[in-house]
């Protein structure tokens, strides 16, 4: 089964450099994707995020997993593979300078366990609506006023 893919783009009143710096702090990922908690982050020798552990609540269940960096274009994009016992996928953040900055977050997800497969419609809908809400809220933290 191909993964479901959700994407949301927002204008952010921050420089691309400031956004890139924020993406290296694992706590940022709590606010940028539909994650409830992020912990145990790791970084390479240059300080670039390489992974973290995460949890998300969907369909009334808490899911825990790991995120591991799979692609990097310094200053522009960061992609992390997401894995748990029930769900697999990826989250990618891309930054563009366009007057203010434009931030695009793309989340791919698929069920891999029995429980997630049975409730995938509910989980998928929660991930879709959560992504847009979280990305919009993240952008607001950088808005003046």
User: Which domains occur in the chain, in start order?
Assistant: 4-140 (3.30.530.20)
Per residue in 31-61, pLDDT tens?
787 788 999 999 999 999 999 999 977 667 7
| pTM (2 d.p.) | 0.88
Integer-rounded Cα Rg, in Å, for the chain is 15
pLDDT at 144: 59
Question: Which residue bears the tokens 């697999």?
Answer: 88
Per residue in 74-121, pLDDT tens?
999 999 999 998 889 999 999 998 777 999 999 998 998 787 778 788
Contacts of 67 (CB under 8 A, 6+ apart): 29, 38, 51, 52, 53, 54, 80, 81, 82, 83, 91
Residue 25: how many CB atoms within 10 A of its CB? 13
Q: How many residues does the chain have?
A: 145
């Amino acid at each position: 089964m191909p993964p479901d893919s959700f994407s949301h783009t927002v204008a952010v009143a921050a420089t691309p450099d400031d956004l890139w710096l924020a993406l290296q702090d694992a706590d940022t990922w709590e606010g940028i994707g539909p994650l409830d908690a992020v912990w145990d982050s790791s970084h390479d020798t240059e300080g670039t995020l390489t992974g973290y552990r995460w949890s998300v609540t969907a369909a009334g269940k808490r899911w825990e997993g790991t995120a591991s960096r799979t692609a990097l274009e310094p200053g522009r994009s960061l992609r992390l593979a997401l894995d748990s016992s029930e769900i697999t996928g990826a989250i990618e953040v891309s930054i563009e300078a366009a007057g203010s900055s434009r931030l695009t977050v793309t989340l791919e997800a698929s069920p891999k366990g029995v429980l997630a497969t049975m409730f995938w419609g509910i989980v998928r809908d929660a991930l879709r609506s959560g992504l847009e809400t979280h990305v919009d809220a993240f952008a607001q933290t950088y808005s003046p006023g």
